[in-house]
Structure formats: C-alpha cells, structure tokens
Amino acid sequence: MVDNGSSTHFEDARISAYFSHLATELGPETDVQVACVAHMVSNTTYFLPALDRMFGVGFYMPKPKSLSSRYTNLVRSFGFAEQPLSREWAENPLQVANALSKLDPRRRIILVDIGGYFASSLNEINRLLPGRIIGVMEGTENGVQKYEASGLEYDLPLITVARSPLKLPEDYLVGAGVVFSVEATLREQAQILQSRSACVIGYGRVGSGVAEVLRGRGIPTVVHDVSPLAMAEAAARGFRVYRRLDDALRQSNLIISATGSRAINPGALSVLRSGTVVATVTSSDDEFTPGALRQYRKVPISPRVSRFESDERRRYFWLVNEGNAANFLDDAVIGPAIQLIEGEKLAALKELALGVVPRGAFRTEVTLERREVVARVWNEHFLED
C-alpha cells in the first residue's frame, strides 16, 4: 500500500480518511490489479493510493497533456510503474498487450479508462491476453461515447460512472472551473469577462454547467447543440438556442466548446469574429477536427493563451491553453465533489471484480445499493455537523 507521501491539500487528513473508510466498506480485492489512465492533478495524489489500497496499481498511464502539471513528480514519488500513453499506443493491441503481460500473472486486470483510449483495440487486447482482463471502467461521457460509437460488440464487461447522479456536481463544477480559468486568462491580458458575449457549443452535463455559470455572471449566452433533446432542454431553461453553429458563432466573441466530438472545424473558425476567445472543456483533439488550425499562424502570447492569425493578418482569434481543457490551467480544482465520484469509481471496480457486470455495451452502472454506500460514507466525512 502506498500513502499520500506529501501534503498537497489542507484537507489531506479528511480525504485520506474518506478513502480508507470507503475501502473498508467496499472490501479489498487482493487478486485484482488496475491499469489506470490518470490526469496529473491534485485529486490523483489521493485516488491512486486508494486504488492501490483496494486493488493494487499495476501501472498508471498519465494523460499526455497533463504531464506538465506540478503534481506529476509527486505522483511519480509514490513508486507506481508508469506507462507512457498516447492515442497511437492505446490503439495498437500488440503494444498494449505487451505492457499488460508484464503485470503480476497471479492477479486479474481491470482497465481504468478516461477518454475512450481502448475503444477500438479492446477486443484484440483481450484476445491476446486470454483470461487476464476482467473488464473496463470508463469515467467520462466523452469516453463512453467513443466506446458506443465504435460499433463493436465487446467481449468484456464494461461499466461507467459518467452518467451517474453522483457525477452531476463534478460536471457542473468543471463548467464553473472552465469559466474561472477563462476569466483569469482574460484578466491576464487586461480584459474582463463582462465585455464578452458567449456561445456554448454542446449542452451536455459540462456544457450546461458552463452556460449556467456564464449566465449567472451576467454574460449574454447562446447555445448550440446537434441533439434535439439538448436544444429543447436549453431552450426550456431560457437560453437562446441556435440550430446552425455558424449563426451562433456570429453572435459571440467568447466560444466555449464542450462536445467531445470535434465540433470546431475550418468552417467554424472561418466565421469567428476577429478577436474572439476560444476555449474548450476537454482535449484539443476531441474538440477540433484534425488540421483545423493549420491555415492560421500561431503567435504565443503567454503560457495561458496564443493568438491565431489568418495569412492576411486581418482576422485573428485567441485560443486558451492550446485548445485543451481551460480549467487545467488552474489544476482543474473542483473540491470534494471529485471524491464523491471517485468513490463511485471504486464501487464500479468492485462490481467488475465480483463478476456481476454483464458483457457488452455501456448500459451498466453501479447498483443503487453501492451508490448509496458511497454517498453515505462521503456524507460522514464531508458534511458539516
């Protein structure tokens, strides 16, 4: 077992006690090990030791765009094996199977995914390692959509927490964090949020949080989504909704994309008003189509923002954090809500270990009974008396 060896948070003791209590309630699985995709952020310094306490960490795979985080060295100090991660590596079954084959052969393997890295390769990885892998837990809506869009019938059990009610607070607070980081970036450049009119692309859980926070700050905010259900919900909540993306973009000079489905393409960029600020809630390769930025000249302004100019230099826009999740500029902090959903991740892994999750598509979530255990333990540690 690895402890959080260095204080990173003034609630260190409370967070560690919560995970220890929850691990006791759920019960350890000593014949299981996890191979875990992980963001290098503050909560990972608690979650990885909690995973190790319950299951054992075979290796972790740091998300490449978070490697510059100040938490990377702290995570490395725990001594877990580290496996470099890229989309190309994860989509190569031979390379992934080779890495997994080096783990303890006496222990079964669960893949902990964030972002659908193994959606296209999972069945072949499983075929190369017969009987070793017992399932996958995917933590994000973006990742679930990649598995669902693959068109594959998976040979392994899959479970997700992405659509859990316990994740709603996290999703809203991620949206709030994105707005915070965009505002901090604007203020760094002697601008203010209140001088902008906003367009939110994608009215899912995070996008709706972004839109609500912007509106709450008094920022005129419009919404675009391709889903009739999302458009109807946004309109019913009082937002002006545009069916056509280009119409929404022309109304705005602050664009926040929250789709995970490459909504920003060359056509979208071509209609931006000059001086528009563009930010996203996830990785740039999930929000921009490949090559979308090539026709623009990049001018770095600060570590937080770059200016992209057209060849004629008559039009330009600002891109926050290279098009990656804006909130990661400020460590993606969302408070104890993250421990709530990470607790459900432990419960989901427990269900995979017990063999109660059926094979197939991501229709499986944690049982209500275990979800209530997570909520009860979280309440004991984080509710004020």
What pLDDT is recorded for position 304?
98
| pTM given for the model | 0.92
Residues 98 and 241 in one domain: no
* 6: in domain: no
Residues 61 and 82 in one domain: yes
Residue 377: is its pLDDT beyond 50?
yes
Residue 91: is its pLDDT beyond 60?
yes
324-371 pLDDT per residue, tens? 999 999 989 999 999 999 999 999 999 999 999 998 766 689 999 999
* 338: in domain: no
What pLDDT is recorded for position 311?
76
Residues 175 and 225 in one domain: yes
Residues 142 and 33 in one domain: yes
Looking up residue 53, the CATH number of its domain turns out to be 3.40.50.1480
What pLDDT is recorded for position 249?
98
- State whether the Cα torsion 127-83-324-115 is positive or negative: positive
Residues 66 and 24 in one domain: yes
What pLDDT is recorded for position 68?
75
The domain in which residue 145 lies consists of 12-163+355-382
Residues 321 and 177 in one domain: yes
Residues 63 and 196 in one domain: no
* 348: in domain: no
What pLDDT is recorded for position 243?
97
* 342: in domain: no
What pLDDT is recorded for position 40?
94
238-297 pLDDT per residue, tens? 999 999 999 999 999 999 999 999 999 999 999 999 999 999 999 999 999 999 999 999
* 336: in domain: no
| Least confident segment among 65-69, 183-187, 306-310 | 65-69
* Percentage of residues of the chain with pLDDT beyond 90: 91
61 pLDDT band, cuts 50/70/90, is very high
Residues 191 and 321 in one domain: yes
Residues 244 and 149 in one domain: no
What pLDDT is recorded for position 1?
47
Instruction: Mark 8-42 as b/e (b = at least 16 C-beta within 10 Å).
Output: beebeeebbebbeebbebbeebeebbbbbbbbbbb
Residues 235 and 294 in one domain: yes
* 368: in domain: yes
Residue 7: is its pLDDT beyond 60?
no
Residues 21 and 59 in one domain: yes
What pLDDT is recorded for position 175?
98
Instruction: Report, as an integer, the average pLDDT of 143-162.
Output: 94
Residues 140 and 187 in one domain: no
What pLDDT is recorded for position 182?
99
* 22: in domain: yes
Domain total for the chain?
2
**Average pLDDT value for the chain:** 94
